[in-house]
């Protein structure tokens, strides 16, 4: 659990977007593709640009960030090496440090606890430097704050520093609400987190919209974890009403329905979520397999769980449970 909290920020999918006010890429074409969460397109665009100009720093960072969505260890290794070289060649370019932090964190997600802890300092250093170089970028600030909240103290975590980052946003009041909400969630101050998230108006800022939705869904998962099923259901239902295109809302409702024994509703919600935004990052086959197993349909359950296990992007925690269930099913 601690390892997951330490590193989940750097395994965020490419759907995490930014507005032009806080763009990751200086190149508007790369930024547009990044904002759209189009990993394959970003990869192709980056490779084409690098063939034309191997010294294109923006393209190198784009290629590295596109690797986060691939679930390929070899690609991550290559991306880490490339971004380390980028940092050495362009030490004043924030995107090199930012991309390095994201890639190192993704590597650590699949590593042992010892390896993950050894990488934590490098992740912090990368995000800290990126923010130092681009203090006006909300993405750089956001990544650093999440690190401070998720990492244990021995690895550089600091709630007080996370709070400082949330307070120093006078010109970005809605972004400040999101960051205060994260601190409240970390401290299990649900009432405060609810107030901040409910009052937040992301407007047309795509990056803020995405991070707000993730924080809202995260609050629902906290209620689910605490077995406050009625509260979790209401929370996810509101997200589904306001963001009907967002897969996490239906996924959360499916989780609630599973926990409360409403298996047909769980299956309906999980299947509905399949074609929505962000579905590829959710363990839908695993959860559907569980629901069908609970209904007593072994064939359906086995087929879904086998497909999940074959997915290279499968979350290690869900993967362990899926393999256990397959062994039970024979």
3-state DSSP of the chain: CHHHHHHHHHHCCCCCCCCHHHCCCCCHHHHHHHHCCCHHHHHHHHHHHHHHCCCCHHHHHHHHHHHHHCCCHHHHHHHHHHHHHHHHHCCCCHHHHHHHHHHHHHHHHCCCHHHHHHHHHHHHHHHHHHHHHCCCCHHHHHHHHHHHHHCCHHHCCCHHHHHHHHHCCCCCHHHHHHHHHHHHHHCCCHHHHHHHHHHCCCCCCHHHHHHHHHHHHHHHHHHHHCCCHHHHHHHHHHHHHHCCCEHHHHHHHHHHHHHCCCHHHHHHHHHHHCCCECHHHCCHHHHHHHHHHHHCCHHHHHHHHHHHHCCCCCCHHHHHHHHHHHHHHC
Within-domain flag for 105: yes
Within-domain flag for 77: yes
Within-domain flag for 222: no
Q: pTM to 2 decimals?
A: 0.81
Within-domain flag for 206: no
Within-domain flag for 22: yes
* Better pLDDT: 111 or 143: 143
Within-domain flag for 274: no
- The least confident of 151-160, 214-223, 238-247 is 151-160
- For residue 301, pLDDT over 90 is answered with yes
- For residue 317, pLDDT over 70 is answered with yes
**What is the count of structural domains for the chain?**
1
* Better pLDDT: 73 or 286: 286
* Better pLDDT: 150 or 182: 182
Q: Ranked by mean pLDDT, which of 153-162, 264-273, 309-318 comes out on top?
A: 264-273
* Better pLDDT: 244 or 32: 244
Domain encompassing residue 67: 1-153
Within-domain flag for 243: no
Within-domain flag for 312: no
Report the pLDDT value the prediction gives residue 207, as an integer from 0 to 100.
77
Q: What is the CATH number of the domain that holds 106?
A: 1.25.40.10
């Amino acid at each position: 659990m601690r390892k997951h909290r330490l590193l989940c920020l750097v395994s965020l999918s490419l759907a995490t977007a930014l507005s032009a006010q806080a763009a990751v890429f200086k190149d508007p074409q790369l930024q547009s593709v990044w904002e759209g969460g189009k990993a394959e397109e970003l990869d192709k665009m980056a490779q084409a640009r690098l063939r034309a100009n191997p010294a294109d720093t923006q393209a190198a960072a784009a290629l590295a960030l596109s690797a986060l969505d691939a679930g390929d260890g070899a690609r991550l290794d290559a991306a880490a090496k490339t971004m380390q070289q980028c940092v050495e060649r362009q030490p004043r370019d924030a995107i090199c440090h930012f991309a390095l932090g994201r890639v190192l964190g993704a590597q650590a997600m699949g590593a042992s606890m010892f390896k993950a802890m050894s990488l934590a300092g490098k992740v912090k250093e990368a995000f800290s430097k990126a923010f130092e170089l681009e203090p006006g970028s909300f993405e750089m600030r956001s990544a650093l704050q999440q690190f401070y909240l998720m990492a244990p103290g021995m690895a550089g975590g600091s709630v007080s520093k996370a709070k400082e980052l949330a307070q120093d946003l006078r010109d970005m009041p809605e972004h400040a609400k999101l960051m205060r909400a994260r601190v409240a969630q970390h401290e299990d101050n649900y009432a405060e987190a609810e107030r901040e998230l409910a009052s937040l108006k992301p407007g047309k800022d795509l990056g803020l919209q995405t991070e707000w939705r993730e924080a809202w869904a995260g609050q629902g998962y906290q209620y689910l974890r605490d077995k406050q099923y009625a509260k979790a259901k209401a929370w996810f239902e509101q997200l589904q009403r306001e963001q009907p295109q967002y897969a996490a809302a239906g996924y959360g409702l499916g989780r609630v329905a599973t926990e409360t024994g409403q298996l047909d509703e769980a299956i309906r919600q999980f299947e509905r979520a399949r074609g929505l935004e962000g579905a590829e990052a959710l363990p839908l086959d695993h959860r559907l397999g569980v629901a069908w197993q609970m209904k007593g349909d072994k064939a359906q359950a086995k087929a879904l769980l086998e497909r999940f296990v074959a997915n290279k992007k499968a979350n290690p925690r869900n993967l362990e449970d899926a393999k256990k269930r397959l062994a039970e099913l024979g």
